[in-house]
Every structure is written in structure tokens, then in C-alpha cells.
């Protein structure tokens, strides 16, 4: 049975336009499939990297945050009060350390400063 199929395929005359179209279609399908697979793998790797970074940040933050201080902050009017500044100081230190690690070498210390919430 398979020899008949092979014989039928080989006995067809070569038609350049048809064969070129078939080859082109095959390359397009393979290219789109490869691009789709590459996209999905890259997306999953990015999600894994972000998830790992967030887990590390959460583990670091849980040791630095004083929950009792944060529980006392209940009103927006407390923003920029001494109690608020003391409560967010460890978080700002984490942010500064992260920015300093990822900032280019030509960044000034002023660029690494974390502005207070009321400043613009």
C-alpha cells in the first residue's frame, strides 16, 4: 500500500509554482509554530523569574516590617507623620538597596532618593 503512495507521489510532474507554494506554506507554518513555542517558553520563564523575585522580596520584607507600627496607621492624615516615617523606613531601605543594585553606575545619589508621598 505504501509503495503505491510513494509511486504516485514520485510520478507527479514537477510544477515549480505549486512546489514553491507548498514549500513556502510549510516554512510559514513551521516559523509561526516556532515563534509561538518560543513566546510561550519566554513568557513562562519571565513569570517564574518575577515570582521568584516577589517571593524573595516578601521573605525580606516580613523580617523588616513591624506589624504593630503599621496597625497604628489608620488614617490618610498620618502620611508623613513621624510614626508613618518610622513604619516605612525599613521598606524604603529595601527599595534604596534594590535601586542602588540595579541603577547604572552614572546615577547620582539624588536619583536613588525615595521621595515622600506628599512630594511631587
Candidates 71, 61, 98; CA nearest to 114 is: 98
Using the predicted structure, report yes or no on whether residue 91 has a pLDDT greater than 60: yes
First to last CA, the chain: 79
* 36-75 per-position pLDDT tens digit: 999 999 999 999 999 998 898 888 888 888 888 888 888 9
What percent of the chain has pLDDT above 90? 29
| Residue 5 domain-assigned (yes or no) | no
99 in Cβ contact with 112 (< 8 Å): yes
92 in Cβ contact with 110 (< 8 Å): no
Task: Take residue 95 and report the three cell numbers written for it.
Answer: 527599595
Residues 97 and 117 reside in one and the same domain: yes
Q: What range does the domain containing 57 cover?
A: 15-64
Residues 102 and 113 reside in one and the same domain: yes
| Residue 7 domain-assigned (yes or no) | no
| Residue 28 domain-assigned (yes or no) | yes
Task: Take residue 59 and report the three cell numbers written for it.
Answer: 521573605
Domains of the chain: total: 2
End residue of a domain, out of 38, 64, 90? 64
- Determine the pLDDT at residue 120: 46
Residues 53 and 19 reside in one and the same domain: yes
Query: Distance between alpha carbon 98 and the CA centroid of its chain, in Å?
Result: 16
| Residue 2 domain-assigned (yes or no) | no
Residues 73 and 116 reside in one and the same domain: yes
| Residue 41 domain-assigned (yes or no) | yes
pTM: 0.50
Residues 71 and 56 reside in one and the same domain: no
Residues 85 and 114 reside in one and the same domain: yes
- Determine the pLDDT at residue 13: 77
End residue of a domain, out of 33, 48, 64? 64
Residues 56 and 19 reside in one and the same domain: yes
| Residue 119 domain-assigned (yes or no) | yes
Amino acid at each position: 500500500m505504501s509503495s503505491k503512495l510513494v509511486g504516485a507521489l514520485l510520478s507527479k510532474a514537477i510544477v515549480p509554482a505549486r512546489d514553491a507554494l507548498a514549500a513556502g506554506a510549510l516554512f510559514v507554518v513551521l516559523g509561526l509554530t516556532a515563534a509561538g513555542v518560543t513566546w510561550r517558553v519566554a513568557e513562562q520563564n519571565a513569570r517564574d523569574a518575577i515570582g521568584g523575585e516577589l517571593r524573595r522580596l516578601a521573605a525580606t520584607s516580613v523580617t523588616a516590617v513591624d506589624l504593630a507600627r503599621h496597625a497604628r496607621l489608620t488614617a490618610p492624615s498620618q502620611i508623613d507623620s513621624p510614626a508613618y516615617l518610622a513604619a516605612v523606613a525599613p521598606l524604603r531601605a529595601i527599595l534604596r538597596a534594590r535601586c542602588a543594585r540595579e541603577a547604572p553606575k552614572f546615577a547620582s545619589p539624588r536619583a536613588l532618593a525615595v521621595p515622600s508621598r506628599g512630594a511631587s
